Amino acid sequence: MQELRDTQNERDDRNLPINRVGVKSLRFPVEVREKNGEAQRTIATVALAVDLPHHYKGTHMSRFVEALNSHGKCLDVRSMAALPRELLERLDARRAHVEFEFPFFRSKAAPVTGKEGMMDYEVRFSVEAEKDGAIDFVLTVMVPVTTLCPCSKAISARGAHNQRGLVTYSIRFSDPVWIEDAVELVERSASSELYSLLKRPDEKEVTERAYDHPVFVEDLVRNVASRSDAHATITWYRVEAENFESIHNHNAYAVIEKLHES
């Protein structure tokens, strides 16, 4: 085979290193490990990147896809570190970053009738590996919830306004935390969790539960943060909540981040 010119390895004289270079928006079928030991099939949107020293003109984009295909399709928090480490070797880099974002489905029983319905949550695995062996893993779950306004309840003679909110919850941990456990921690912090299937008795239960547990957006992020502080293995968190207000033409928003890992 004719030897072809490798322009990526040519020298660049601008003396500007690049923090991340690679591929993104690559869709890939994966199997995500569930807490019960089973594997759930889904499709991830993948981003793969490495740092590039100042003297290299470019990186070899095909090697990212080669590494992804050789890694296998099963994802869990224990095995994810293997892929960025492989990128370090294949691309002779000092730092590699891998991100998988995918829908994760759970079967949830309605609170009164027990009718089963599927709920979906967006999940993100972000892993960064260093040449010296250091690994940084961040799990993010995006959890829809219901919130009921404490102020509206306090001042209104008939009812209180409520809305659907979205909590984006990112954590680091000393021992792996299951996706399901992170989702449940957020759901317990809201006025009520959401369900895909509700009959009339279930709707009554969910509505009254929310009325009995009013939370501002500020309460929501503080509830999640308090539960995170009390968790035995969570070392860092960032919790962001956005309420899609039902009586305003704007959203309510709050965020808490634990700045230092314990």
- Mean pLDDT, range 9-29, rounded to an integer: 81
Is it the case that residue 28 has pLDDT exceeding 80?
A: yes
Could you tell me the pLDDT band of residue 141, with boundaries at 50, 70 and 90?
very high
Could you tell me if residue 161 is inside a domain? yes
| pLDDT at 164 (0 to 100) | 95
Query: How far apart, in whole angstroms, are the C-alpha atoms of residue 203 and residue 186?
Result: 21
Could you tell me the pLDDT band of residue 12, with boundaries at 50, 70 and 90?
low
Which region among 9-18, 186-195, 205-214 has the lowest average model confidence (pLDDT)? 9-18
| pLDDT at 63 (0 to 100) | 87
Count of CB atoms situated within 10 Å of the CB of 13 = 8
Could you tell me if residue 262 is inside a domain? no
Which region among 25-34, 60-69, 73-82 has the lowest average model confidence (pLDDT)? 73-82
Count of CB atoms situated within 10 Å of the CB of 19 = 10
CATH number at residue 209: 3.10.270.10
Q: Which domain holds residue 55?
A: 17-257
Could you tell me if residue 112 is inside a domain? yes
Could you tell me the pLDDT band of residue 58, with boundaries at 50, 70 and 90?
low
Could you tell me if residue 182 is inside a domain? yes
Q: Please give the model's pTM, rounded to 2 decimal places.
A: 0.90
CA dist 16 to 6, 51, 94, 102, 229, Å? 20, 11, 16, 34, 41
Could you tell me if residue 12 is inside a domain? no
Total domains present in the chain: 1
Could you tell me if residue 7 is inside a domain? no
Could you tell me if residue 26 is inside a domain? yes
Could you tell me if residue 10 is inside a domain? no
